[in-house]
Amino acid sequence: MKKLLAIGLALACTLSALATHAEDGYDMWLRYQPLNDTALIKDYRKQLGTLVAPDGPAVIESAAQELQRGISGLLAQPLERSDSLARRGSLVIGTPESSGLIASLGWEDRLAQQGPEGFLLETTRIGRRDVTVIASEGDSGVLYGAFHLLRLLQTQQAIDELAIAEAPRVQHRVVNHWDNLNRLVERGYAGLSLWEWGTLPEYNENPRYRDYARINASLGINGTAINNVNADPRILTDQFLEKVAALNEVFRQYGIKTYLSINYDSPRAFGDLDTADPLDPRVQQWWKDKAEQIYRHIPDLGGFLVKADSEGQPGPQGYGRNHADGANILADAVAPYGGVIFWRAFVYSPEQGDRFREAYDEFKPLDGKFRDNVIVQIKNGPIDFQPREPFSPLFGALKETNIMMELQVTQEYFGFSNHLAYQGPLFEEVLDADTHAKGEGSTVGKILGGEVFEYEQTGMAAVINPGTDRNWTGHPFVQSSWYAFGRMAWDYELSSEAIAEEWMRMTFTNDRRFLDPIGEVMTYSREAGVNYRNPLGLTHLFAQGHHYGPAPWYDEAERMDWTAWYYHRADEDGIGFDRTESGSNAIEQYHEPVREHFGNLDQIDEDYLLWFHHVGWDHTMNSGRTLWEELVLKYDEGVQQVRDMQAEWEKVQGLIDRERYEHVKALLEVQLRDAIRWRDSCVSYFQSLSGLPLPEGSREPEHDLEHYKKLEHTFYVPDPWHPKGNDRRVDY
C-alpha cells in the first residue's frame, strides 16, 4: 500500500509540474519544474530510475517523499519506489541502522566522521549494480543529503561521478519568529503569523506548516523559535503548549526542533509567586516544575529563547542579579531534558553613554560563568541590524562562553518588503571579519564554528518573520536572504555570490541571460541600500517606531539613544560619533590590530569612518574629495544604483514568468521613489548644518527641508500589540 501511495504521489507531482499555472513564489526554491535540457534529463533518468528507501523513520520518509516529489517534477516522469535494486539507475538512501544496503557498504567509519547531520552522496556499486547513494549516520543527514542532490539537479550539475562529503559547520542553525499570539508579527512585512492558533491543536494539517518545514530543512536549518522574544507568558500554559506540540509534530518529521521564547517574569505573571529573582529557591523550583510541564507536552523541545533586561523586558537585573544568574536557573531547569537556553545579548540602557559599548560591558565580565547548555546570542553588530555595522566586539571576547550570532532576514532597516536588498553580502562581511582574538585568521565564522575557542555548543540564528503572503516574504527577493542565511549557517565559508547564483537557478531559471545581470544586481543591492540611507558609517537615521523612512533631524525623545542625532552628532563643524580614546573609547573592546585600524584615521576603511570618528566637513577622503562632497556623492550613487537595478530588470523580461517579473518591476518603482526621498531628506538636513554647496553635477533636492520633515510618518506602521501603541520608540 505504501508503494502505491508513493507512486500516486509521484504521479500527482509530475502532473502538477506539467500543468501550466501562474507562478506566485509559494514554492520558493523548491519549484521542481521540468528541466528544459533534454540531454541532461536523459542522463538523470538513467541514474535515478528507482528509489530504494527504508520504511520506518519519519525523517527518512520525508527525504524519500521529497526525492519522489522533486525528481518526478524535474524529470517529468514518476520516480518509482522499490525495496530492491533495479538493474540500473537506483537511488539508495538511509543509515546503516535503517538500511541493509547502506550497511553493506561498510561506511560506518566514514559516516561517523560526518556526524548524524552530515552525509555522503556518492556514485558507487552495490554488488553488480551501479547506484547513487545518500548515506548518513543519522536520519537528518539523509534528509539533508536528499535536498543536496535535488539542488544539484535543479542547478543542472553533473551527477555521474558523485563523491560528496558534507557536514554542518555549526550545531544550532535556528530561525527566529517575532510572532505574537494574536497573529500580528513584529517587524513582519508579509501578512499575519503562519501559526493559526485558533485551529490548533486539532488541525495541524495546514499545508503551509509542512511546506515551511520543508523550506527550512532544505537549507539544513534544524531549529525554529516560533514566538516573539517580547514574549507573552501565555505561551507556557497547557492551552498553548498543546498547540505548540501539534506544530512540533510536523517540524519533527523534518529534523527541526521547536524553541519557545519565554517571559522572564512568568512566575509573577502567572500569579504563583511575588518575585522572579533567579536566586530565590522558590523561583528555581517554579522553573523546574514548569519545564517538567512543558516537556510532558513536547518531549523533544529544543529549549528557550530569552530576551531579558532589554527595552523594558523583565530580567534578573531587576533583582540585582546578572545575566549568568538569570540564564543558569533556566539552563538547570531544561538540562534533564537535553534543552538549551539561547540568551540574547541585545541589551542597552538610557544610562549608558554609548549604546555601542553596552553588550560587551555587561557580558564580558561574565565570561565562563554560564552553564554549558547556555548560548549567548549576539547580534552581528553592536547596535541593531543596521545596513552596515562593524562586527560586535563580543565575537572574540567571550572565550569560555558558548555564543551564536543573530542575523536579520526580515528587512526592518532595508525597506520592509518593498526593496530589493540581498543580505548575503552583509552576512558574508561579518562572517569573514577577522577579530584577531587568537591572532590573524580568527574570523567571526571560525569563532562561531568553535574553531578558535573550545565551545561546547555553537550556532547561528536569523530573524526571518515570514507571513501568510503567498510567497511567504512579501518581496520575492527577501527569499534570497533566507536562503543565504541557511546556506551560510551550514557552511560559513560559502560566498554570497555563489549562493545568489544557486538561489536564482532554483527560484527562477538556469538561463545565463538572467543569471549574469541579476546576479550583479543582487551583489550590489545591499550596498545600494547603504548608500542611499547611511553611507560612510552613518547609522540609525531612520524615523523612529517604523524604521522605514528617513528622519536624520530627529533629536528629541524619551531617551537620546532613540534619536537619530545620538548616532550622527552632526553640527556646523562636522559629523560622526567619536568612539576613540577621546570619545566613548568603544574601540578598546576590540583586539589589536582591529582597535588600531578602527581608531586611526589614516587606516580605517571609510565605510566605517563615521561609526568611530567625528570629523570635519572638509576632512579629506581617499578620493581627494572632502567628506561633504563624498557624502553627497554616495547618496547620489545609491539612487543611481536603484536606477541601474531597474534597467537590468527590464532586460530579463520574458526570461521568467510574467507574474513575478511584474511584481519585482513594480516594487523597484517604489524603491526608486524611496531612495530619492532618502537622498533628498538627508542631503537637505546635513546641508542645513554644513552650509556648504552641493558638489558640481549633484542636483538640488526637489523640496525644502520642512517638506521632508512632514513626511516622517508617511509610512508609519502602528504596533497595536505594543503598550505604547503608536507612540512606540523602541527597536527589537
Q: Would you please indicate which residues are annotated as catalytic (active-site) residues?
A: 311, 384, 412
The Cα 22–Cα 663 span in angstroms is 13
Question: Are 634 and 531 spatial neighbours (Cβ–Cβ below 8 Å)?
Answer: yes
235 to each of 239, 291, 303, 337, 341, how far by Cα in Å? 8, 13, 13, 19, 16
Residue with cell 529563547: 305
CA-based nearest residue to 341, from 409, 264, 251, 244: 264
The span from the CA of 301 to the CA of 337, in Å, is 8
Q: In whole angstroms, how far apart are CA 289 and each of 264, 283, 333, 429?
A: 15, 10, 8, 43
Fill in the DSSP letter of residue 728. Answer: -
The gap between the terminal CA atoms of the chain, to the nearest Å, is 50
d(CA 645, CA 141): 39
Identify which of 30, 38, 106 has the alpha carbon closest to the alpha carbon of residue 73.
30
Kindly give, in sequence order, each residue whose CB lies less than 8 Å from that of residue 579, ignoring residues fewer than 6 positions away.
354, 356, 585, 586, 587, 598, 611, 612, 613
Quick one: CA torsion of 692, 695, 697, 703, rounded to 10 degrees? -40
Single-letter code of the amino acid located at 104: S
C-alpha cell at 658: 510574467
Residues in CB range of 357: below 8 A, 6 or more apart: 382, 584, 586, 589
- Ramachandran category for residue 282: left, alpha or beta (phi over 0 → left; psi -120 to 50 → alpha): alpha
Pull the grid cell for residue 570: 552632526
C-alpha cell at 520: 550583479
The DSSP secondary structure of 601-665, one letter per residue, reads TTTS-GGGHHHH--EETTPBPTTSSBHHHHHHHHHHHHHHHHHHHHHHHHHTTTTS-HHHHHHHH
CA distance 237 to 227: 14
DSSP SS3 for 269: helix
Report how far residue 410's alpha carbon sits from residue 717's, in angstroms, rounded to the nearest whole number. Answer: 15
DSSP assignment string, 370-406: S-TTEEEEEESSSSSS-SS-PPPTTTTT-SSS-EEEE
Give kind and range of the element (H or E) at residue 172. strand 172-176
Cell numbers 540531454 correspond to 39
CA dist 590 → 44, 123, 614 (Å): 52, 48, 19
Do 425 and 494 meet the contact criterion of CB atoms below 8 Å apart?
A: no
Residue type, 580: T
Rounded to an integer, what distance in angstroms lies between the CA atom of residue 534 and that of residue 387? 7
Which neighbouring-strand residues pair with 166? 119
Residue 41 and residue 37: Cα distance in Å, rounded? 6
Measure the CA–CA gap between 399 and 364, rounded to whole angstroms.
9
Supply the DSSP symbol for 701. P
514, 494 in Cβ contact below 8 A?
A: no
* b/e 329-339 (16+ beta carbons within 10 angstroms → b): bbbbbbbebeb
